[in-house]
Amino acid sequence: MRSIYLIKDLAKVSGCSTHTLKFYLRLGILKEIGRSPETKFRYFDDSSYERLKAIRRLQKRKLSLKEIHEQLERKNI
């Protein structure tokens, strides 16, 4: 079963702050799967969580955010 997260929930399960997640969204490193038309809440799923784990792994390898973005897009994560 697929999990759906709000940004605060994704922050909690991933260990990232909501500020960091919003920064990643602005850079295009992280993408929302949808948005509520009424509330404008962003929605994320397990693929978003997996992408965050990949971002963390690449950060540990000392890659820049630009390099991380390029690798994620190339691997289609």
For 57-69, b/e burial (b = at least 16 CB within 10 A) is ebeeeeeeeeebb
The maximal CA–CA distance of the chain, rounded, in angstroms, is 40
pLDDT at 2: 81
- 41-71 residue pLDDT tens: 999 999 999 999 999 999 999 999 999 999 9
Mean pLDDT of the chain: 93
CB 66 within 8 A of CB 58: no
pLDDT at 76: 77
What domains appear along the chain, each with residue ranges and CATH number?
4-75 (1.10.1660.10)
**pLDDT band at residue 1 under the 50/70/90 scheme:** confident
Tokens 């190339």 sit on residue: 74
CB 52 within 8 A of CB 16: yes
> Percent of the chain, pLDDT > 70?
99
The answer, yes or no, to whether residue 77 has pLDDT greater than 80, is no
